Amino acid sequence: MAEQAFSSLETDRADSSGLRSIAADFSSDRTAFRNVSWGKAMMWIFLLSDTFVFSSFLIAYMTARMSTTVPWPNASEVFALTIGGVTLPLILIAIMTFVLISSSGTMAMAVNFAYRRERRKTAALMLATALLGASFVGMQAFEWTKLIHEGVRPWGNPWGAAQFGSTFFMITGFHGTHVTFGVIFLLIIARKVWRGDFDQERRGFFTSRKGRYEAVEIMGLYWHFVDLVWVFIFAFFYLW
């Protein structure tokens, strides 16, 4: 009996020692913690928190849609456009999605050229990304205007469940705000890249030490996140 108790005590000590060793390893890991810049770390933390916000919005939307007893509007009819006498369901949403996904490609190429120190190509691709983002926001504004003209409000709509208007304006408006801020910061960073601020060690807003184009990569993280969120909004709100 005493031997079993002693054995159990030794096991507990070994487990405790093992946990302390793991904690010590993590706390002393210079590669995982000390080689990551504050800018990149803070962006990842921001994106993680934003993931929770968008997840809450989408969960609220799904809950409202599944719990309402009033018929939910048909997205294919609500978001259809009539062009040349032909009604095309979700055509505008499809174009918006294509534009935003394409902007992810130009942003990825901008990051690639940034680390090659090809500042003119980097700036041009960032401007192309900003142009695509602005086009997306413009089409979203047209979509909002069309639905408001047809009677959609945050408290109701002429096609069924009142929750449709509130969830639509909340989710797409919050995402559109993210895209708008992204376009603004893309223009700011593109201007600094074009002027050579990162090459000439010119101090200023978003300017780090000489030769560091990490600001472009951080901007890319944000932009890819915005694009990824739209994929989920497109799937849950427009295709469901």
Residues 25 and 129 in one domain: no
pLDDT > 70: percent of the chain: 80
Is residue 7 domain-shared with residue 90, that is, in the same domain?
A: no
- Regarding whether 114 and 215 lie in a shared domain, the answer is yes
**Per-residue pLDDT tens for 173-227?**
999 999 999 999 999 999 989 988 887 766 666 554 555 788 899 999 999 999 9
**How far apart, in whole angstroms, are the C-alpha atoms of residue 142 and residue 156?**
19
Question: CATH number, domain at 199?
Answer: 1.20.120.80
Question: 20 with 56, same domain?
Answer: no
Residue 31 shares a structural domain with residue 74:
no
Query: Mean pLDDT across the stretch 95-110?
Result: 96
Are 30 and 41 in a shared domain?
Answer: no
Same domain, 193 and 218: yes
Instruction: Name all contacts of 75-83 with Cβ < 8 Å and 24+ positions apart.
Output: 75/237, 75/238, 75/239, 75/240, 77/159, 78/147, 78/159, 79/143, 79/238
Same domain, 157 and 115: yes
- Tens of pLDDT, residues 148-167: 999 999 988 899 898 999 99
What was the pLDDT predicted at 96? 97
In this structure, are 144 and 199 located in the same domain?
Answer: yes
Taking the C-alpha atoms of residue 164 and residue 146, their distance in angstroms, rounded to an integer, is 15
Domain residues for 190?
A: 37-238
Total count of domains within the chain = 2
d(CA 92, CA 90): 6
Contact assessment for residue 130 and residue 187, using Cβ atoms and an 8 Å cutoff: yes
Instruction: Tell me: do 111 and 168 sit in the same domain.
Output: yes
Q: Do residue 22 and residue 110 come from a single domain?
A: no
